[in-house]
Amino acid sequence: MTFGVSFPSTFKPVESFDEEESKNLKDTWRLFKETIASDEVGFFYANSNKELREDSKRVFEKFKHKEYFVHVGIGGSSLGSSTLVEALGKNDKKKKIFFLDNIDPEETYDLLNSINLKETLFYFVSKSGGTAETSAIFSLVLNQLSQEGIDKEEWKDSIVCATDPNSGALRDLVNRYK
């Protein structure tokens, strides 16, 4: 995949920076490179992580029979995925992908009542694990699964979470119901 940069026709580069601006830009660039190289921003190197690729394949194999995929995440926990789906298109017309990226109760209930929950994989994403909206939707989904007769023991066949491995409200919910 190749990325390029384009500028609007009104773009005019700055001819020079004073010493302070130049130092600030260099510091910002240095911090950016340090951040990218750190373990905190793992998605830059996710494709080269063999263990992550194998885990992803395993999860895919386990859930590939599901007809519906509901991605639940707020802000950055949803934007990247929804952008990729929109950009790449939905090649598999048999699978239906939905994004719950806000806590509008009508939108959430309308979606939950319009799909077969037994044929749905819910994917909850909260990097910090502390996103209240994601945890609230998690609780709503558990309630709906129960109302549909899906027992707690079966929830692991309907839910995948990507969150902090050690802490946060979503991690607490995962630990309680796994």
Angle at the Cα of 13 from the Cα atoms of 12 and 17, rounded to 5 degrees: 135
**Quick one: which H or E segment has residue 107?**
helix 105-114
43's tokens: 């998605």
Residue with tokens 């502390």: 130
Domain range list for the chain: 19-48, 50-177
CATH topology for the 50-177 domain: Rossmann fold (3.40.50)
Each residue's pLDDT tens digit, 28-77: 888 887 877 776 666 667 778 898 889 989 999 999 999 999 999 988 88
Q: Are 116 and 144 in contact (CB under 8 A)?
A: no
Q: In what order do the strands lie in the sheet with 120-126?
A: 96-100, 68-72, 120-126, 159-163
Predicted TM-score (pTM) of this structure: 0.74
